[in-house]
Amino acid sequence: MFKATRRLSIPVLLLLLLLLLLTTTMASAQGEEPPTVTDLMAAINTGWVLLAAFLVFFMQAGFGFLEAGFVRSKNVVNIMAENFMDTTMTTVGYFIAGFAIMFGVGNAFFGQEWFFLRGIPAEIAGVSALAFFFFQFCFSAAASTIASGLMAERTSFRADLVYSFIVGLFIYPLIGHWIWGPGGWLAQLGMLDFAGSTVVHLTGALIGLAGTLLMGPRKDKEFGNA
């Protein structure tokens, strides 16, 4: 009973926090023109996207614990640190050029605007542009972390930082533009991906598979030994 209550308390607290933020925003606007229906819808959509983004963001903790079970006990701290830095480096790359390549207007293969988030509009797809960016970079970090799990105990810490940066900078955004971006060639062919099964999970899996094939089996790893 206690565990069930604790599980339910987390999403309830998040919803209350979002409602508090919305209430504060509306209260600060008193004395100005009342918000329109469009403004209210944008606020609600932004709140929902932020809630979803937080859930995706905390997937990193789940991936960290999962991958800790894949490695030998002596490497648990290292794999947890790699998961933390994967998210950090992927975010940096996604901020510099990834978001622009993925969602900027360009051609059927990659976007050509909004590098370093310069020139982005106030809203994208009916939500705050910054909230939209936060949601999307969480997805990019998930793709990078999936790949790191497959390459556990195969790459050095520095190599992991480099590939995570490249994933967020170019690889993940390129695939994302084809399917989710404006005018992407796969989207024009009618391809749909509602929750990232291809853009996020398949991309991360293929990156990890390529790295695993290149580097081969884990060194000094014997089956059945912790």
Query: Residue 127 phi/psi, 5° resolution?
Result: -130, 165
Give the whole-angstrom CA distance, residue 192 versus residue 198: 9
Domain ranges of the chain: 38-215
**Do residues 149 and 169 touch, judged by C-beta distance below 8 A?**
no
User: pLDDT tens digit string along 106-163?
Assistant: 999 999 999 999 999 988 888 889 999 999 999 999 999 998 888 888 888 898 899 9
Express each pLDDT in 170-213 by its tens digit: 999 999 999 999 999 999 999 999 888 999 999 999 999 998 89
The pair of structure tokens assigned to 54 is: 């937080």
Nearest Cα neighbor of 220 from 113, 102, 72 is 72
DSSP codes of every residue in 92-124: HHIIIIIHHHHHSSB-SS-B-S-GGGTT--SEE
Cβ neighbours around 97 below 10 Å, total: 19
Structure pTM?
Answer: 0.80
* Phi–psi pair at 107, nearest 5 degrees: -130, -165
Give tens-digit pLDDT for 43-66.
Answer: 888 888 998 999 999 888 888 888
Question: The domain 38-215: what is its CATH number?
Answer: 1.10.3430.10
